[in-house]
Structure 1
Amino acid sequence: MRRAIAAISVVALAGCAASGVQVKEEQLAQFEPGKTTVQDVVASIGKPSNQMLLPDGSRVLVYSYAQVQTRPETFIPIVGAFVGGADMKTNSATLTFDRAGLLKTVSASSGATGTGMGLSSGASAPDRVPDQPRQAP
């Protein structure tokens, strides 16, 4: 019984992956345009996923995050190739700063994408990204 539980746990964990820095809207709400500095943001959230210095001297910090969960049926031998898939959730926060390093704007986005193989293409079920993948009409 213990071996079965251990095997199930290993399979479940093998189907998860995450990358980047997840930033929540509540974290962004603490930053005030004209007052918050680049250093304030980095001290609060951490190093950004991407940083750009623009020709006018302004700076952009981008925090990107992606989490992928493989659907459990993907691990079923033979059958998984026909009914498996994965679901991905993403979020991104972009903060722009003026030449003096003071915050100008904050924007955030989030998304969800599902992939399916064989019969699960376009199928939806609980905890899956609804109607993903699908073909355009």
Structure 2
Amino acid sequence: MYKSLIALMGIMLLGCTTPPAHVERNVGDQFQEGKTTCDEVRSVMGKPTSETDIAKDKTVLCYGNHETEINPAAMIPLVGLFFTGAKSESRILCFTFENNVLTDKKYTSHTARAGLNAPE
């Protein structure tokens, strides 16, 4: 009984969270180094995936996405043994601020495929 109640409360809380901004290579292009403030990035991108204070006046905000796609045929009993495969994509966009002004931005992405019939 209590486990069901806790699980239900957890699902309800997930519905109250704001999903992170979708990260793509060109998302950072709208922010200009030397002009954009930390608050402006937060207002457009939302809550960062991670936030780190490197020094007294230096902060790094990172936004990340991770998506995994599985070959649907892999879900069919027995047949799925011959159609296993998955594709995983990760994207990270980090902004560095000094004295609350953007000084640098870096975008990183990685795609991995596993199995014989991984989705393209």
Which TM bucket (shorter chain)?
0.7 to 0.9
**For 1:30 and 1:107, how far apart are their aligned partners in 2?**
13
- CA RMSD of superposed structures (Å): 1.9
- Structure 2 residue 34 is the aligned partner of structure 1 residue 34: yes
Segments of 5+ residues of structure 1 without an aligned counterpart are 1-18, 129-137
Give the match's secondary structure for 1:36: coil
- Structure 2 residue 23 is the aligned partner of structure 1 residue 23: yes
**Alignment match, 1:50:** 50
Percent of residue pairs bearing the same amino acid type: 26
Q: TM-score, normalised by structure 1?
A: 0.66
Question: How many positions carry a matched residue from both structures?
Answer: 102
Q: Do 2:20 and 2:47's aligned partners in 1 also have CA atoms closer than 8 Å?
A: no
**Large movers: runs of 4+ above 4 Å:** none
- Structure 2 residue 71 is the aligned partner of structure 1 residue 68: no
Give the match's secondary structure for 1:54: strand
Report 1 or 2 for greater relative contact order, CA contacts < 8 Å, sequence distance ≥ 6.
2
Q: TM-score, normalised by structure 2?
A: 0.75
**For 2:103 and 2:36, how far apart are their aligned partners in 1?**
9
**Alignment match, 2:59:** 59
Q: Do 2:89 and 2:109's aligned partners in 1 also have CA atoms closer than 8 Å?
A: yes
Query: What is the correspondence of 1:52-131 to structure 2 with a 5 Å cutoff?
Result: 52-98=52-98, 100-116=99-115, 120=116, 127-128=119-120
**For 1:37 and 1:111, how far apart are their aligned partners in 2?**
28
Segments of 5+ residues of structure 2 without an aligned counterpart are 1-18
AA aligned to 2:70 is T
